[in-house]
Amino acid sequence: MSDSKSTELMEKIVSLCKRRGFIYPSSEIYGGINGFWDYGPLGAELKRNVKDLWWRSMVHYRDDVVGLEATIIMHPMIWKASGHLDTFSDPMSTCRQCKKLVRSDQALEMVEDAEWFQRLQQFYTATAQSLPIAVTVEALEKLEQSVRKKAPNLALVRAREAVSARLVESASSDGAEWSNETQFLRSVSTENPGNGYAHFPCPHCGGELTEPRPFNLMFKSHYGPVESEDNVCYLRPETAQAIFVQFKNVFETSRQKMPFGIAQVGKAFRNEVTPRNFTFRSREFEQMELEFFIKPDEAVAALAGKLATAADGAWQGVPQADWGWEVWHKYWVEQRVRFYENIGLAREDFVEYWQKPDELAHYARATVDILFRFPFGVQELEGIAARGDFDLTQHQKFSGKSTEVFDEELRAAWTKLDDATRQSIKARYESTVRESLVKRGFLESDAAIQATEFSTAYIEKLAKGYYVPHVIEPSAGVDRLILALLCKAYHEVVSTDEKGKSETRVVLKFHPRVAPIKVGVFPLLKNKPELVAKAHAVRDLLRPHMTVFYDESGAIGRRYARQDEAGTPFGVTIDFETLGEKPELLDTVTLRHRDDGRQERVAIADLLPRLLPLIR
Ligand code: ATP
């Protein structure tokens, strides 16, 4: 639940984003469209910087990752194979009174943010302690009046007499309906507490929500002029599947060897039931995803003679030939956190949440959610999953095309293994398969038979040098990262002038690498042609290397403040000294630093060497 301070902070950030041209509601002049956002001039630069930095660190600075740019609409069978058609859904309820749709698993969280709930909460806190004395029909009537406007369909409002009689009765007998705040909330929300599904009220009106039913999040469309079942297609809900289906093409054309990765940045679409928290949960958003394909542990053990595990702590260093999936997974978690540190977020801003075994998808071996401390709560920024060979195997099954790779070194290494090593590699695999089948609901005995069959076939292939690669998937949302950067950068600075009047200014302290504009260039006065000409020359010197904002209007203090609010880390002022008023300062400028207001004199010739290392 977000408290009023964080709600106020979010409101300020949303309003700043609109006022300064970072983010606008999509289609605003038509009343907007829920869950869709547009990035304005500053937002577009910020987003571009973030995507470029991700691409640089994931693709350009590595020998073992290449890029892909695939289509948004792909063959519909892909979504059958990936499981999205059957299982990519959220639980949804409809309010029986106001007819609004609510994601059932978020109903409580949304209710907690509603003003009327806070009244119920205060009443509960003040009353529950002194049960049964304090609860009277009159007290409940007062409560009903205080929430009536905002929650007109709450059972306490719709059927006050019946509900309050029941609550008073419960208070003086078993007290069950007062046993905790959640129970109390449910009790004031329904006329029939004993009736089946115990739901939370509708966050919008307090009404009654239907039982949850699965709602598939994929946007559906048709390709070609005829709308029929034969040409149904979907807007991709994630960029990852395109990487899996193009895996073989990329592998065969990029001269990469296992292990290697394929990266993609692009749009994804999810018809979220309740988009919320500004851009955090949108219906159209962008993802930055890497599928890093690795050799299965059995192949690594055969090739390297041993298998390094996460316990060795190896993941902090450079990749090694004996790394198994666990080490690769931890390595990528660490790489991703380092990326965030590199663009101005701190390790303390995150919580690494390792999903518990019962939370993992059946194919996932481990998943870490990197959660960021947003003002509205600690929420997912990126997920890093070890997905085994699930995706490539599924596409192999559904397409009938092989997704296996052939590794000549593995074939040669296998021939040199002694029998005991071969047997121990097989036994290890067999036990992993058996455990996974049991986890999926197979009987122990059936799982054992199947595991033996699978492992025999698998080891036979491995011995010939063939396997389906496994994958580690760091999957980040661009829009959530932009929001995290905005929240982290937002600072209010109070300054007091000579007359004692204080003013609060906003400074966005973006890391220079992500800042939309890197430098503001200001001639001290706009009516002095020599100053203006020099300022133009400085602007033109810097422009090929960084984003520059040239501003000659208004007092210099106001110009600095405008750039502080846009998050521009550096300001360059051209004054009379630049023109040689003091000969020793000829061709020098004032370089101002946004975060501490520090100013220093720098030769124009030194500007690029000073600034470039800070922004790259
Ligand atoms: P959540 O549980 O928050 O819905 P998820 O676990 O379904 O997220 P993934 O499928 O792992 O998300 O997607 C990877 C990343 O894509 C997320 O970590 C997030 O940054 C981003 N993302 C997912 N859904 C949305 C959305 N509706 N709006 C904005 N970004 C999103």
Nearest CA to ligand 1 atom 20: 477
Return d(Cα 300, Cα 319) in angstroms, integer.
Answer: 13
Residue 276 Cβ < 6 Å to ligand 1: no
3-state SS, residue 217: coil
Q: What's the gap in Å between 367 CA and the centre of ligand 1? A: 14
Q: Which domains does the chain have, with CATH numbers?
A: 54-87+220-406+468-481 (3.30.930.10), 93-214 (no CATH), 408-464 (no CATH), 517-615 (3.40.50.800)
Cα 376 to Cα 10, 41, 280: the distances in Å are 8, 26, 10
Decide if 490 contacts 16 (C-beta within 8 A): yes
Decide if 594 contacts 568 (C-beta within 8 A): yes
Residue 90 Cβ < 6 Å to ligand 1: no
Nearest CA to ligand 1 atom 10: 238
Decide if 456 contacts 313 (C-beta within 8 A): no
Q: Which of 103, 379, 380 to mutate to test the pocket of ligand 1 (most atoms within 8 A of CB)?
A: 380
What's 370's DSSP letter? E
Burial classification of residue 588, based on how many CB atoms lie within 10 Å of its CB (0-12 exposed, 13-18 middle, 19 or more buried) = buried
Question: What residues of the chain score a pLDDT lower than 50?
Answer: none
Nearest CA to ligand 1 atom 2: 380
Q: What is the DSSP string of 302-324?
A: HHHSS-B-GGGTGGGS---TTB-
Residue 352 Cβ < 6 Å to ligand 1: no
Residue 287 Cβ < 6 Å to ligand 1: yes
Decide if 243 contacts 264 (C-beta within 8 A): yes
Residue 285 Cβ < 6 Å to ligand 1: yes
Cα 159 to Cα 156, 164, 165, 166, 588: the distances in Å are 6, 8, 10, 11, 77
Return d(Cα 584, Cα 395) in angstroms, integer.
Answer: 71
Contacts of 219 by beta carbon, 8 Å cutoff, 6+ apart: 234, 235, 269, 270, 271, 283
Contacts of 151 by beta carbon, 8 Å cutoff, 6+ apart: 114, 116, 157, 201, 205, 206
Q: What's the gap in Å between 280 CA and the centre of ligand 1? A: 9
Token pair 């739901």 is at which residue?
199
| Percentage, residues of the chain above pLDDT 70 | 99
Residue 315: its pLDDT value, please? 85
Token pair 């990936």 is at which residue?
82
Decide if 85 contacts 233 (C-beta within 8 A): no
* Ligand 1 atom nearest to CA at 272: 27
Q: Which pair of structure tokens corresponds to residue 374?
A: 């947003």
Q: What's the gap in Å between 217 CA and the centre of ligand 1? A: 12
Residue 282 Cβ < 6 Å to ligand 1: yes
Decide if 167 contacts 141 (C-beta within 8 A): no
Return d(Cα 487, Cα 509) in angstroms, integer.
Answer: 10
Q: What is the DSSP string of 79-107?
A: HHHHSHHHH-EEEEEEBTTT--EEEGGGH
Residue 196: its pLDDT value, please? 58
Contacts of 482 by beta carbon, 8 Å cutoff, 6+ apart: 23, 39, 43, 46, 47, 50, 279
Q: Which of 274, 291, 480 to mutate to test the pocket of ligand 1 (most atoms within 8 A of CB)?
A: 480
- What's the half-sphere exposure (Cβ side, CA atoms, 13 Å) at 206? 27
Residue 385: its pLDDT value, please? 97
Cα 155 to Cα 25, 144, 192, 516: the distances in Å are 35, 10, 9, 50
Residue 475 Cβ < 6 Å to ligand 1: yes
Continuous H helices in 390-443: 390-399, 408-416, 419-439
Q: Which of 39, 54, 285 to mutate to test the pocket of ligand 1 (most atoms within 8 A of CB)?
A: 285
Q: What's the gap in Å between 380 CA and the centre of ligand 1? A: 7
Decide if 9 contacts 375 (C-beta within 8 A): yes
Nearest CA to ligand 1 atom 26: 281
Q: What's the gap in Å between 268 CA and the centre of ligand 1? A: 10
Q: What's the gap in Å between 360 CA and the centre of ligand 1? A: 16
Residue 273 Cβ < 6 Å to ligand 1: no
Residue 362: its pLDDT value, please? 79
Residue 79: its pLDDT value, please? 97
